[in-house]
Amino acid sequence: MLIGVASSAIWYRLTHAEEQKQKNKQVISMLTSAIQETHRIANQNLSIVKNEIKGLEKEVFTLDPQTSFIPTPADLLLLISNFKQDKSIELWCSLKKIDSLSSQAEKLAQEASQLRKAIKLEDKTHIYLFELLPYLKHLNLLHESILNQIINESQTSEILIDKIQHKQG
């Protein structure tokens, strides 16, 4: 009977370890996909914002940047995975920072879009009187700064994921 209990315990540990390894791989895959998509959106938006900043002197407007980023599944990192705590907490913080910056970028993009629409409806006197173009340029510069921060933090997260994967492998 003792042999049966011992073999059951060993079997449970082996299957549980394999299941956890698969969960960890799924979490890494989801995180990597989300980070790459966020990075892509930020780069795309950055190009749009830079073009608009260049064209504002001529009152040339560009397309509206994409206003929605996908949230990173940062909480899965702590809820499902069993990575080493120091690196996983560092990665979780980085992912939460990306989420926060993405939210700020979304709000700035929406505000700039509304301002662009208002400028198109106003006559030149009101545009210059209320300094709408300098305000739009300022919004775009803020948006550019936040998008650059998202790109940098995405790269940091990717590096941390690589470190976690190498420690697990």
pLDDT tens for each residue of 16-66: 778 888 888 888 899 999 999 999 999 999 999 998 888 877 776 766 777
What confidence score (pLDDT) does residue 62 get?
A: 67
Amino acid at 24: N
**Quick check: 48 and 113 in contact, CB under 8 A?**
no
Q: How far apart are the first and last CA of the chain?
A: 36
Its domain, for residue 151, covers 2-168
Number of domains in the chain: 1
Task: Answer whether 0.85 is exceeded by the pTM.
Answer: no
